[in-house]
Structure 1
């Protein structure tokens, strides 16, 4: 299904996954998606590469080679992903390279943190509504509607999680 080729000429034992056109196109689409969410394009492309790579982890050098970008750009993007707690790296005995992988194992905890953020946003909106005047009723109504939805969402999501857990059992 996949072909592996030597990564660097000086180390024939190190291989990289040969990306198909479908892999490359998917990596680009994932990159564009994340770019539209406010991330740097390379950050999204690295996420895409980590998602499609068969090993689930990729060395720094392979990221540079696969995406055809500079080491400094990859370093900055990986630093960002690590700061956002989206990826981790590991090392191997006798190998000085770092291998990067997405933190997918913690998705439930990450989602719980996002629910806390939603609660905080709702709290801010409610505080803003308390200090706003009646001058712009239409805007106030939209904000109140948004706050109500956030409250509903926050209340309903735990039940959705429980249903998901039961379905997975």
Structure 2
């Protein structure tokens, strides 16, 4: 069935649509669309390792735009460069563990904002009540989020362990 050209074409169209939707999601959150499209494509492409030319062709993006996106995604730890036996070209794939790293990053960010809010409360102890209320609100929210993300992180690790033991 995979050798059916119509089926392959339909699957490629679905992959491209998925990548476009991930790109839109990134853009709505203030991140670059091309980087989002690349992440989306690398989730569903076959093979999982793609050259810069493969990515440019699949995403309909310029080679320069792809190079910029690759550098950004490498810098944030989402994409890694890999070698292919017998090839001098560079290939890129999603870094293994990227989704686990996402929750780790969220924990770290929530803890950091919580700590900043707590520090603000200490420094601003003599501030007017409405300012302290905003700081308390910030502190309460990020204290809650840090705890929830840490619990989610722990549950995920337990889930991963159970999956590996199957």
| Category of TM-score, reference length = shorter chain | 0.7 to 0.9
Q: Over aligned residues, Cα RMSD in angstroms?
A: 2.7
Q: Which residue in the other structure is 2:34 paired with?
A: 42
In structure 2, relative to structure 1, the CA distance for the partners of 1:53 and 1:166 (3 Å cut) is same
Unaligned runs of 5+ in 1: 6-16
Q: Which residue in the other structure is 2:120 paired with?
A: 128
For these two proteins, the number of residue pairs brought into alignment is 157
CA distance in 2, matches of 1:62, 1:159: 39
CA distance in 1, matches of 2:82, 2:66: 16
Match of 1:20, SS state, is helix
1:37 Cα deviation after fit: 1.8
Task: Answer 1 or 2: which has greater strand percent.
Answer: 1
- Are 1:27 and 2:27 matched, yes or no? no
CA distance in 1, matches of 2:38, 2:102: 20
Task: Answer 1 or 2: which has greater helix percent.
Answer: 2
Q: Which residue in the other structure is 1:12 paired with?
A: none
Q: Deviations over 1:28-83 (max 9, x none)?
A: 11001011222211111111111121322222111011112211110011000001
Of residues 148-157 and 29-38 in structure 1, the stretch that sits farther from structure 2 once superposed is: 148-157
CA distance in 2, matches of 1:86, 1:4: 33
Of residues 98, 108, 130, the one that matches 2:100 is: 108
Q: Which residue in the other structure is 1:88 paired with?
A: 80
1:147 Cα deviation after fit: 1.4
What TM-score do you get using the length of structure 2 for normalisation?
0.78
Task: Between the two structures, name the one with larger relative contact order (CA 8 Å, sep ≥ 6).
Answer: 2
1:23 Cα deviation after fit: 2.1
What TM-score do you get using the length of structure 1 for normalisation?
0.77
Unaligned runs of 5+ in 2: none
